[in-house]
Chain A
Amino acid sequence: MNKDDKTTEYLKKLKDIKLSESSRVRIQNNLLEYARFHGVRVAGDSRSIEQVSPLSTRRTSLFTVFKQPKVMTAAIIAIMLIAGGGTSYAAEGAVPGDFLYPIKVEVNESVKSALAIGNEAEARLQARLAEERLEEAEKLATRGELTADASADINTRLKAHADEAEERSAKAEANGDYESSATVRASLEGSFRAYADILTDLNARVSGNDGATLIANVRTYADAAATAQATATVGVSADARADIESTIKRADTLLANVEAKVARAENEVSAEAYARAEVKLAEAVSAQAEAKASFRSEMYQAAYTSVQAAIRIANEVSAMIDSMLRLQVDVDVRTDTVINSVLNVRTETEIHGDAETDTRTETRSDAAPDTESETDSSVDVEVDASADTRLDTDVVDVEAETDTSVRGGLNL
């Protein structure tokens, strides 16, 4: 490295100086507020758009200001801030039917959406909001309040989130942003599948629930996400390769987090439930190892498919664990029974050849091994075949994790 490169490298440390998260949000909110109250001027007119309303030709009236939905939202937010930010915070835990639920979905989530700038951020936000709706359904189901009405309400919102997420993923894919499209679709599918099973169990167990239609729909959305993943074809351009590589890296982080989560849950759940979560996790680790191997062999399509499988399964495990921990606190249900039935439902679905199974098989057929026995062999192959130094290290890590960390978790 020459002197100038060394200097640059040294000074680059300064790049870590960034606005703190709290300051960033505060400044952004101030700026948006400023921009809204000093609206865009109409061409050839020095007055702002609020001022050209036919109702008030010369000055801004409160009425015209409030006619704009965004200003209205801003006003509601302002009122809430004055009344106390607690309202908005308290609304976060609301479920359909609660007094604060409209604040949660109309105000809090509009704010989140306003802050999620760009296609990728919005896609991820929509996937997260979909998961939020599923959590609400779970909460209602544990109380036996997942009625037909509540299910229909959740379904409408869920579908809107799923559609928006897919639309944005498709857009990302069309733009060559494979990382976003893959991670969003795979995590959506994982959450949908996990929650479909959790809800099926609760729906049957707790009386008063009527969520069958919602559950069927959730499975349909999972299949749709799976089909979208299976039909996605990636190019072999340098950009596409870089994207797949960063998707694999993202999956590494996700896997590490989920492994840590499973490890932390060890003492909270039954030994059997824990073992089952481990098996599922090993499946994800194996798919990830496949993805790395395929990537190294320049089989990018296969790598793309496998890494999506890894993300999906990891998300499924994550949602399962979260739900198990919540259920343990919320209701008097034995979590091992819940998780057992969750996993049994899954196994049945995988064995019986319905539409869902077909899609799943298609998604995985190229590269992602599905059973425990394949896990070991595929990882062995990885290590033997390794040639590239950088990827080697990753693969060896994966192998080590399959044996040790799946039991003990990563030391995070």
Chain B
Amino acid sequence: MNQDTQEKVFVESFSEYGDAIFRFCRLKVSNIELAEDMTQEVFTRYWQYLRDGKEMTNTRSFLYTIANNLAKDWYKKKKAVSLDDRVDSGHLPSDTCANPEIMASYQEVLDAIEDMELKDKEVLLLKHVEGLEPKDIAEVLEETANTISVRLNRATKRLQQKLHI
């Protein structure tokens, strides 16, 4: 594996999964800037594997796993900080989406799921938005597939009740 090949794999992975990882981080930390930094950090760690010529069987799961671990670290650190220093919920950057209709539409979804438990939110995102299978979600979140299926089922029902679907 030479530098050029690995760089290409690296940048291609970023093009392909950058947005999905950003969404995941965004859900975890509710702050745009921090989510962007986390996304960059996820890929920086991914490069550490690539530069050693390690083969990646499932890049996507791998990236989510790193993101999940980074988020855990962040929560640990966050607990040490006083409540007043809590990071605000980030505003959507103005150039993310020039179309106010789309912005309003996903803000509405974000608001709807805001008071749900993070555990519920993350399975809903990974399943319904990113299309991961329960066993893949289980791997990322270090749970059993069964636990994830149960959690997913409950979270989906809760959301449906909330939305009167």
A49 engages B3 (CB within 8 Å): yes
User: Within 8 Å of chain A (Cβ to Cβ): is B43?
Assistant: yes
Chain A, residues 128-145, CB within 8 Å of chain B (1/0): the string is: 000000000000000000
CB-CB nearest in chain A for B163: A10
**Nearest-Cβ distance from residue B71 to partner chain A, whole angstroms:** 16
Interface of B: prevailing SS: helix
Q: Which residues of B contact A67 (CB under 8 A)?
A: none
Residue pair A27, B39 in contact (C-beta under 8 Å): yes
In this complex, how many residues of chain B approach chain A with their Cβ under 8 Å: the count is 48
Interface size classification for chain A:
35 or more
Shortest distance between the CB of B38 and any CB in chain A (Å): 11
Q: Which residues of A contact B124 (CB under 8 A)?
A: 11
Interface hit among B57-65, B76-84, B101-109, B143-151: B101-109
Contact, CB under 8 Å: B23 / A40 = no
Q: Chain A residues near B51 (CB, 8 Å)?
A: 35, 38-41, 48
Q: Is A353 an interface residue, CB under 8 A from the partner?
A: no
A237 within 8 A of B: no
**A43 CB contacts on chain B under 8 angstroms:** 53
Minimal Cβ-Cβ distance residue in B for A17: B23
**Given contact pairs A24-B18, A34-B47, A117-B11, A14 touches B2 in the complex (Cβ within 8 A):** no
Q: Are B128 and A20 in contact, with the CB atoms below 8 A?
A: no
| Cβ–Cβ contact B26 & A20, under 8 A | no
On whether the beta carbons of B26 and A40 are closer than 8 Å, the reply is no
User: For residue A118, which residues in chain B have a CB less than 8 angstroms away from its CB?
Assistant: 12, 15
Partner of B47, one of A11, A17, A31: A31
* Chain A 6-29 near chain B by CB (<8 Å), digits 1 or 0: 111011111111111111100110
Which residues of B are found within 8 Å of A30, using beta-carbon distances? 40
Interface residues of A in 57-75 (CB under 8 A from B): 70
* Chain B residues near A23 (CB-CB < 8 A): 36, 93
Assess whether A40 is in contact with B53, with CB atoms less than 8 Å apart. Answer: yes
- CB within 8 A of A16: which of B52, B106, B156? B106
B153: nearest chain-A partner, CB-CB: A4
Residues of A within 8 A of B52 (CB): 41
The CA-CA distance from A6 to B161 in the complex, in Å, is: 12
Q: Are A15 and B159 in contact (CB under 8 A)?
A: no
Report the bound CA distance from A49 to B52 in whole Å.
11
With A18-B19, A31-B40, A117-B8: A11-B95 Cβ-Cβ less than 8 Å: no
The CA of A13 and the CA of B3, in the complex, are separated in Å by 38
Q: Is the CB of A10 within 8 A of B165?
A: yes
CB pair A27–B165 under 8 Å, yes or no, is: no
Residue of A nearest to B94 (CB): A20
In whole angstroms, how far apart are the Cα atoms of A6 and B160 in the complex?
A: 9
Task: Specify which chain A residues have a CB less than 8 angstroms from the CB of B95 in the assembled complex.
Answer: 20-22
Nearest B-chain residue to A30, judged by Cβ: B40
Q: In the docked arrangement, what's the CA distance between A32 and B10, Å?
A: 8
Question: B14 near A27 (CB under 8 angstroms)?
Answer: yes
* A48 CA / B47 CA spacing, docked (Å): 13
Provide the bound-state CA to CA distance between A30 and B50, in Å: 16
A390 on the interface (CB 8 Å rule)? no
Q: A14 near B160 (CB under 8 angstroms)?
A: no
A12 to B109 alpha-carbon distance, docked (Å): 9
Return the contact of A14 from the options B12, B43, B53, B129 (Cβ within 8 A).
B129
In the complex, chain B residues 35-75 whose Cβ is within 8 Å of any chain A Cβ: 36, 39-40, 43-44, 47-48, 50-53
CA A40 – CA B48 in complex, angstroms?
9
User: Is A3 interfacial (CB 8 A cutoff)?
Assistant: yes
Q: Are B109 and A117 in contact (CB under 8 A)?
A: no
Are B97 and A31 closer than 8 Å at their CB atoms?
A: no
A sample of 28 cross-chain residue pairs with beta-carbon separation below 8 angstroms, ordered by A number, consists of A6-B160, A7-B159, A10-B163, A11-B125, A12-B128, A12-B129, A16-B105, A17-B22, A17-B96, A18-B97, A19-B36, A19-B96, A20-B93, A20-B95, A21-B95, A27-B43, A28-B18, A31-B10, A35-B3, A35-B7, A38-B48, A39-B51, A40-B51, A40-B53, A41-B51, A41-B52, A41-B53, A117-B12
B contact residues vs A (CB 8 Å cutoff): 1-4, 6-8, 10-12, 14-15, 18-19, 22-23, 26, 36, 39-40, 43-44, 47-48, 50-53, 92-93, 95-97, 102, 105-106, 108-110, 124-125, 128-129, 156, 159-160, 163, 165
Q: Which 6 pairs show the lowest CB-CB distances between chains A and B?
A: A11-B128, A18-B19, A20-B96, A8-B128, A20-B95, A40-B3
